[in-house]
Amino acid sequence: MVREAEETDLPAILEIYNDSVMTSTATFEQNIQTVETRREWFKNHGSNYPLIVAVSNGEILGYCSLSQFQGNSGYRATVELSVYVEKNSRRQGIAKLLMREVLGRAKEKSFHAIISSISFDNEPSIRLHENFGFQKVAHLKEVGFKFSKWHDTCYYELIL
């Protein structure tokens, strides 16, 4: 089941995110986040920017969000997509379920373009985005530093 995220979901969302902080280049954040540090992020979602969760048997298995892209009014119809899945729930179709739902919501809100920033070595995320029609539009060399080395980042875009 997919539903809107609630503030009470924040600890579970945070657990999923912090696992990526510690083990992957899905995010270039290097510091463990707390509920307090992520509360403002949570509040920036809702009616304008969807934040959804995949739930099974009361457990949050992943989340997906659309966030403001840049801060200028000329970008108001462009959003940035993020999707994270709990480590033991990967490769079970949860990311696809979340992406399908959030893309539908993006269309309902009349967004024009969706951007995803993906580490060049994150092949599962690249395949996921390409399966939904995203196209690689930029490749930035050595812009993210994590695990004692530099990583390339790619931007993928979907025009709705």
pLDDT band of 5, cuts 50, 70, 90: very high
SS3 71: coil
Mean pLDDT of 91-102: 96
Residue 119 pLDDT > 90? yes
* Dist. CA 44–CA 60, nearest whole Å: 20
- Residues 27-83: tens digit of each pLDDT: 999 999 999 988 988 988 988 899 999 999 999 999 999 999 988 889 999 999 999
* Dist. CA 109–CA 45, nearest whole Å: 13
Contacts of 89 (CB under 8 A, 6+ apart): 61, 62
CATH number, residue 126:
3.40.630.30
pLDDT value at position 46? 81
Is the separation of the CB atoms in 54 and 62 below 8 Å? yes
- Residues 121-141: tens digit of each pLDDT: 999 999 999 999 999 999 999
User: What is the tally of structural domains in the chain?
Assistant: 1
pTM of the model: 0.94
Is the separation of the CB atoms in 154 and 118 below 8 Å? yes
Task: Provide the residue range defining the domain that includes 30.
Answer: 2-159
Rounded to whole angstroms, what are the CA distances from 99 to 42, 52, 104, 143?
18, 10, 8, 26
